[in-house]
Amino acid sequence: MKSSDKPALMICVLLLNTFVLSAQSDFSGTWILDHSKSDAAFRDYEVTCIITQTAQIFTVEQTLLMKNGEKSVMPAVSYTPDGKDVIKEEQGGKNKLSAKWSNEKKTLTIKFAKTMDGNDYGTLTVYKLSDNGRILTVNSSDLTGESPMIQVYNKK
């Protein structure tokens, strides 16, 4: 390789790295619930969702403001989206939590299951980012996919 080819090679490597890094969608930011697109169950609340995302951690914090002015801040919950199960023994049962990215990195699926007396109870929550990164759809259901609830957020 000639020394005059090295700058061109460096530019190609930098462009390739930029493309690979941009493939990871960024869910980070403040999201405001869009009542017109969300399930009616959320109409009595102004919901703000703050997501912080790094390469290893996905953290969600929600604030609910009721029509009467009462405010409730849910504790922040963090996930490691590597697809591995995290198991904890709590309150007479076993909790299993996993979070996994889709191949295109625009969808994160979180599964929470509590095993008690040999039965699993829990939720399946799917965070999906629109192609333009401005709309977040959160679909929650029980473990079988029944009783789905949809929340649609717009990026602030």
- Domain boundaries, given as residue ranges, for the chain: 25-155
Dist. CA 7–CA 9, nearest whole Å: 5
Q: What is the pLDDT of residue 35?
A: 95
| Cβ 48 vs Cβ 79: under 8 Å | no
CATH of domain 25-155: 2.40.128.20
Dist. CA 60–CA 75, nearest whole Å: 9
Q: What percent of the chain lies above the pLDDT cut of 70?
A: 85
Those residues whose C-beta lies under 8 Å from the C-beta of residue 103, and which sit 6 or more positions away, are: none
Mean pLDDT for 27-39 is: 96
Which H/E stretch holds residue 124? strand 119-129
Q: What is the pLDDT of residue 12?
A: 33
pLDDT at 140 over 50: yes
Those residues whose C-beta lies under 8 Å from the C-beta of residue 13, and which sit 6 or more positions away, are: none
Residue-wise pLDDT tens digits, 52-101: 999 899 999 999 999 889 999 999 999 999 999 998 887 777 889 999 99
pTM over 0.85: no
Residue-wise pLDDT tens digits, 117-135: 888 889 999 999 999 999 9
List of E strands, 39-102: 45-53, 58-66, 71-73, 77-79, 86-90, 93-101
* Listed residue (149, 148, 109) closest to 129, CA to CA: 109
